[in-house]
């Protein structure tokens, strides 16, 4: 049970209800993270914009890499709810059960290129408290593997997003 009172559909603003309605029609329920964000319209729409732009829209990184980052960072942060949610999203986006299990077993367990492993390992390092110790040489190494500046920034932005959403979920005991 969440550590704070989460709003029900009827308690949400009309603008958020409009976003909630299709989810309710499709799944019959709203997740706790949705309800937590629905406490404040600015918070909800800022977060929704990040979800749309980083994860759902087609971007410079493949859905497979983006969902791998989502799963890895959520697992690193101990966010069971986000891991469970993103296992489902990953399947919906076409990731195989095998790939999802590999990701959840860590970067070295993933059957993929060394290039992709390097980016995922970098994202894990970027998610840590001491990310300020990342050196230019580490970013240059990703570029030498063929990643563009935009792809690297996008990967770090997704990493930061999951640190953010995992923190909200963990602090307020969502999904327990």
pLDDT on residue 111:
96
User: Comparing C-alpha atoms, which of 33, 105, 97, 100 is closest to residue 76?
Assistant: 105
CB burial string 32-63: b at 16+ within 10 A, e below: bbbbbbbeeeeebeebeebeeebbeeebebeb
Q: 83, exposed or middle or buried, with CB in 10 Å at 0-12, 13-18, 19+?
A: buried
Identify whether the C-beta of residue 105 lies closer than 8 Å to the C-beta of residue 118.
no
Summarize pLDDT for 147-160 with one digit per residue, the tens. Answer: 999 999 999 999 99
Quote the crossing angle between the two packed helices 80-92 and 97-104, to the nearest 10°: 150
Task: Please tell me whether residue 29 adopts helix, strand or coil conformation.
Answer: coil
Model confidence over 41-99: pLDDT tens digits? 999 999 999 988 888 888 999 999 999 999 999 999 999 999 998 998 899 888 999 99
pTM: 0.92
């Amino acid at each position: 049970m969440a550590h704070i009172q989460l709003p029900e559909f009827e308690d949400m603003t009309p603008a958020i209800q409009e976003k909630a309605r299709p989810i309710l029609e499709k799944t019959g329920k709203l997740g706790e993270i949705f309800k937590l964000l629905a406490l404040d319209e600015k918070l909800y729409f800022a977060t929704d914009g990040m979800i749309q732009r980083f994860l759902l829209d087609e971007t410079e990184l493949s859905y497979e890499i983006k969902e791998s980052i989502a799963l890895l960072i959520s697992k690193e942060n101990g966010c069971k709810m986000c891991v469970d949610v993103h296992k489902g999203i990953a399947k919906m986006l076409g990731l195989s059960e095998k790939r999802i299990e590999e990701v959840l077993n860590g970067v070295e367990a993933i059957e993929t290129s060394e290039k992709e492993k390097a980016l995922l390992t970098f994202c894990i390092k970027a998610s840590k408290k001491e990310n300020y110790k990342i050196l230019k040489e580490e970013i240059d190494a990703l570029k030498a593997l063929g990643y563009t500046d935009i792809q690297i920034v996008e990967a770090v932005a997704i990493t930061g997003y999951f640190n953010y959403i995992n923190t909200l979920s963990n602090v307020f005991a969502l999904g327990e």
